[in-house]
Amino acid sequence: MSQQRHGSTPGSGSGNVPAFPDLPEATIARLPEYLRALHNLGEGGSDTISSEGLAAAAGVNSAKLRKDLSHLGSYGTRGVGYDVALLIEQIEYVLGLDQRRAVCLVGVGNLGHALAGYDGFASRGFKIVALLDADEAKVGEVIHGLAVRHIDELAQVAVEESIAIGVIATPAGAAQAVADELVAAGVTSILNFAPCVLSVPANVDVRKVDLAIELQILSFHEHRKATLTALPGGRSATGAGNQEAVGS
Q: Strand 81-83 and strand 142-143: pairing?
A: unpaired
Angle between helices 84-94 and 25-43 (to 10 degrees): 140
Is 242 an interacting residue with respect to DNA (CB under 7 A)? no
* Separation between Cα atoms, residue 71 and residue 74, nearest integer Å: 8
> Which residue, 78 or 202, has its beta carbon nearer to a second copy?
202
Is 66 an interacting residue with respect to DNA (CB under 7 A)? yes
Which residues is 147 bridged to in the sheet? 142
> Which residue, 6 or 207, has its beta carbon nearer to DNA?
6
Query: Residue 64 touches which of DNA, a second copy, none (CB < 5 to 8 A by kind)?
Result: DNA
Q: By CB under 7 A, which span of 64-72, 122-130, 131-139, 197-205 interacts with DNA?
A: 64-72
Task: Please select the residue that binds DNA; options are 9, 40, 61, 199, rule is CB under 7 A.
Answer: 61
Question: For the purposes of burial, counting CB atoms within 10 Å of the CB of 157, is it exposed (0-12), middle (13-18) or buried (19 or more)?
Answer: buried
User: Dmax over Cα atoms in the chain, in whole Å?
Assistant: 67
Give me the amino acid identity at 95. Answer: L
From the CB of 77, what's the least distance to a second copy, in Å? 25
Query: Which residues contribute to the site for DNA (CB under 7 A)?
Result: 1-2, 4, 6, 24-27, 49-52, 60-64, 66-67, 69-70, 74-82
